[in-house]
Structure 1
Amino acid sequence: MIKHRKLITSLLLLFSLLPSLLPADELSRVDIAQLIDLRDRQNALIIDIRTPQEWAASGLIPQSYPLTFFDAEGRYDLDRWLAKLDKLRSTPDQAVVLVCKSGNRSAKAGQLLTQTQQMKNIYHLQNGIVGWVTAGNPVARNCPNQLACR
């Protein structure tokens, strides 16, 4: 009886600590169909984290917002970027889909958001804008004043 009580007490303690031992929300990778579904059904915010030069060269996914995450040297200012993101989000838990050229930078940025900021509902588009364009999907042109669209 005493052994059972100790076992039950130990299990209860373990289960009470379990949530704090679990990792923060994980970044989810989405394909094109899932991105469209998130955008259309859940009002997900699509954020293109590439550079202005990249936006001008290949365009943007329609209804997405350009918000560079990494500069040309791979540096980022997380606080500044998050402040800009907060202005775009309709609610703090609005789903966000990150887009880059191939999916590598968006995965890195998304991991920073989910692991260091404990943000929920963060996704990244696998194969990035390259996959979007290769699949024959439309792009919107974003031509900053200093750059000419190609």
Structure 2
Amino acid sequence: MKEITVTEFKDLQDKGEDYQLIDVREPYEFDIANICGELIPQGQIPDNVDKISRDKKVIIHCRSGARSGRIVQYLEQQHGFDNLYNLKGGILAWSAEIDPSVPQY
């Protein structure tokens, strides 16, 4: 499984690279804190595989990186994706290292 750190992700954003950001947390978590990802809760991923790009980098994140890591593995193994990156440390790392205005919970 490929991972991307929050610093690498910030650099990708700053350079204007094309990517898709998917948030696999639950709606109530998204309401507490989000970094503008497309919300597809982990339980809904199997029914929304068609919404995940295959022709650009796709960064998948959750609160800490654990759930998103499992989703990356699932999508790679079951659906043949090869362009997915787990956001290492998730939104907690983003808040700690990039943007402290994003609440930790």
C-alpha deviations, 1:67-102, integer Å up to 9, x for none? 1113xxxxx551x1213x24xx4xx31110001011
Give the CA deviation at 1:134: 1.6
Q: Which AA in structure 1 matches 2:39?
A: P
* Distance in 1 between residues matched to 2:94 and 2:40, nearest whole Å: 18
Matches within 5 A, 1:63-74: 63-70=36-43
Which residues of structure 2 form unaligned runs of 5+?
none
85, 92, 95: which one aligns with 2:57: 95
1:52 aligns with 2:31: no
Provide TM-score, normalisation by structure 1.
Answer: 0.59
Contact 2:7 2:98 in 1 (8 A): no
68, 71, 78: which one aligns with 1:116: 78
The structure 1 segments of at least 4 consecutive aligned residues displaced by more than 4 Å after TM superposition are none
Which residues of structure 1 form unaligned runs of 5+?
1-26, 71-75, 140-150
Residue identity (%): 25
Pair member with larger Rg: 1
The structure with the largest strand share of the pair is 2
Matches within 5 A, 1:16-55: 27-39=1-13, 40-55=15-30
Find the residue that maps to 1:42 and give its secondary structure: coil
91, 94, 99: which one aligns with 1:129: 91
Provide TM-score, normalisation by structure 2.
Answer: 0.82
Question: Cα RMSD over matched residues?
Answer: 2.1
* Distance in 2 between residues matched to 1:69 and 1:110, nearest whole Å: 10
